[in-house]
Each structure stands twice: as C-alpha cells, then as structure tokens.
Structure 1
Amino acid sequence: MAEGWSPCYFGFRKPVGRAWQLLATHGAYARTMKNDKRKNFMRQFVRVSALIFLILTLAGCSNRPSDDLVEDRVKQLYENEYIKITKVERLDGYIDQDGDYAVDVRYTAKFTQSYKEVESKTRGVEKFALGLMSAVTGEWKKGDTYVEEETFYFVESENGWRPL
C-alpha cells in the first residue's frame, strides 16, 4: 500500500496527510471563529442598545424646572436699570401640598446706581417703593450687593415648566 493511502469500505481513500488535516481543521476553526465573532458582536450590540435606552429613559426623568428657567424668573422679576442679579443659587426643590413645584433660591443683587442717584430720578409711587426698599436694605452705594433668599413656584404644563 502506498504511503498516505488508507483502506476504506469502498476501496482506498485520498491521502489524509498533514496538509489535508490542516485544511479541514482550518475550515472548521474559521467557522467557529466566525460564529464566536457573531456572538460577541450580538452581545456588544445588546449591551450598547440597553445602555442607550437607559440613558434616554433617564434623561427624560428630570421632573423639575431647569436652573436656567429659575435664573430667568429671578432676573425677570428683580432685574432693572438700578439692580443687576449677579448670582442665582438653587437651594432646594420640592412639590408642595398644592402640587406645584417650589424652588428655594438664594440670589445676589448688585446696585448699578447709588440710592441718591435713584432717589433724584423717581417720583410718586416709585419714590414710595424706593423708600420701602431703603427701609429693608438701607441707603446703598453704587456697586453694593445684597443677598436674598426666596421661594419660587412652577407648574408643569404640556409645553414644559411655567412660573406661577
């Protein structure tokens, strides 16, 4: 019998040398590696998809007014030609008994003009309001600051948060 030929039921088979074994093994190994790569890809795909879903879900769960909205509300109410709001700090936020969202805020106001300058420009009701304000803050100079704490209320609507 020749080298590399092996007997079988139907006669003799083709040589089953090392080269044939390597080819057969490599094909099976390549198919196994391909399947492993597919499995790893699917695992990674599922993990990444779950992570993206979780991030998007939690991003929509911010059930409170934004800091920018709170700061805009403070500036809308108190900033004018005499006062500039320089710092707004959110202290706490909670839902009150009426179902409105309450935000405790500390803000810093800076006077852009002195008391004497403002007093010389005002008349009537504005002068009365200025007198009440000076009773709380005292007479101020240009550049003086004061810190105030207050609670602001917001309600959630179909179009987002609205101040009350």
Structure 2
Amino acid sequence: MAQFARISLLVIASLFLMACSQTPGESDARKVLKAELESARLDELLKIHSIEKHNGYEDNDGRYTIEVSYQLKAASSLNDYAAEVKGDESLSGMDRFALIMALSALRVEYGNFDKGDTFDEKRVLTFRDTEQGWMPVE
C-alpha cells in the first residue's frame, strides 16, 4: 500500500511539473499567424504550410517570446485573387479598398506570385500565460 501511495505521488508530481513547464510552441504560433491572415482577409489566398520553433525565452514580466520560421503557400495566383476581390459585390467599398491595398503590399513584397508558390518567413511572437492558455501580446 505504501508503495502504491509513493508511485501515485510521483505520477501526480510529474504531471504537475509537466503542466507548469509547458511553453508556447508551434501550435500557438500557428493560431496567431492564422488569426492575422484571417483579420487581413488573406486566409483564402495564403495558407500556413509549415512552422518551426527555433528558440524561446521568458522575461521578468510573465511574458514568453518565441522565434519561429514558417512557410506560406499561395492558394491561388495574386492576379486571380485580386480579380476576385474587385468583382466581389458582397464586400463594402471600404473593405474592398482595404483588401486591394493589402494585395498591393503583397505584390511589393512577393511580386506577382502564382498558385503554389511558397514564401519563407521568420517572426518573433510574444505570449502571456493566462487562465485560457497562451495568448499573444499585442
């Protein structure tokens, strides 16, 4: 019986330590990057293909910063998507204008890309540990 109690205590302590030692990882980074694409209404054009966490560190303010690299993959060509946006009557004039400006910025950064083209990116993301898990710091 005493041995069972010791083993149970070790298992509980191990689980507690594992929960405390978790840091933001690739899945947390994917959520942030996906939300950014959705917010910019570019999630139909660019898909997150792969993410790799390279490093992470905690500061004294309860924040945790991670360094990631990831690859974006074009779901369609920039020209085809821009034509879709220009003809989308469901968008308000202001939304259409904002999206066309975002597409212009993509053209400056990546050129006139085609469907299937990929782009390698690097980012530094900062999180705060909350009751609902790791949340990005704006």
| TM-score scaled by length of structure 1 | 0.64
The answer as to whether partners of 1:78 and 1:85 remain within 8 angstroms in 2 is no
Query: After the TM superposition, which segments of 4 or more aligned residues of structure 1 sit over 4 Å from their partners?
Result: none
1:51 to 2:10 alignment:
yes
Consecutive unaligned residues in structure 2, runs of 5 or more: 87-96
Give RMSD over aligned pairs. 2.3
Residue of structure 1 equivalent to 2:33:
74
Instruction: Quote how far apart the aligned CAs of 1:53 are.
Output: 3.3
Instruction: Quote how far apart the aligned CAs of 1:160 are.
Output: 2.7
Instruction: Quote how far apart the aligned CAs of 1:145 are.
Output: 0.7
Instruction: Quote how far apart the aligned CAs of 1:109 are.
Output: 0.8
1:101 to 2:101 alignment:
no
Equivalent position amino acid for 2:136 in 1 = P
Residue of structure 2 equivalent to 1:147:
120
| TM-score scaled by length of structure 2 | 0.74
Instruction: Quote how far apart the aligned CAs of 1:117 are.
Output: 0.4
Instruction: Quote how far apart the aligned CAs of 1:50 are.
Output: 4.1
Instruction: Quote how far apart the aligned CAs of 1:163 are.
Output: 1.5
Instruction: Quote how far apart the aligned CAs of 1:135 are.
Output: 1.2
Q: How far apart, in 2, do the equivalents of 1:55 and 1:96 lie? A: 25
Measured against aligned partners, the alpha-carbon deviations of 1:31-62 in whole angstroms (never above 9, x if no partner) come to: xxxxxxxxxx64x3354234313312322222
Count residues in correspondence. 123
> Alignment identity in percent?
32
Instruction: Quote how far apart the aligned CAs of 1:107 are.
Output: 1.2
Structure of greater relative contact order (alpha carbons < 8 Å, 6+ residues apart): 2
Instruction: Quote how far apart the aligned CAs of 1:98 are.
Output: 5.0
The answer as to whether partners of 1:107 and 1:149 remain within 8 angstroms in 2 is yes
Instruction: Quote how far apart the aligned CAs of 1:154 are.
Output: 1.1
SS in structure 2 at match of 1:61: helix
Q: Do the aligned partners of residues 145 and 49 (structure 1) sit closer, same or farther apart at CA in structure 2, a change above 3 Å counting?
A: same
Q: How far apart, in 2, do the equivalents of 1:106 and 1:149 lie? A: 4
Q: How far apart, in 2, do the equivalents of 1:97 and 1:52 lie? A: 30
Q: How far apart, in 2, do the equivalents of 1:148 and 1:97 lie? A: 28
Q: How far apart, in 2, do the equivalents of 1:162 and 1:102 lie? A: 11
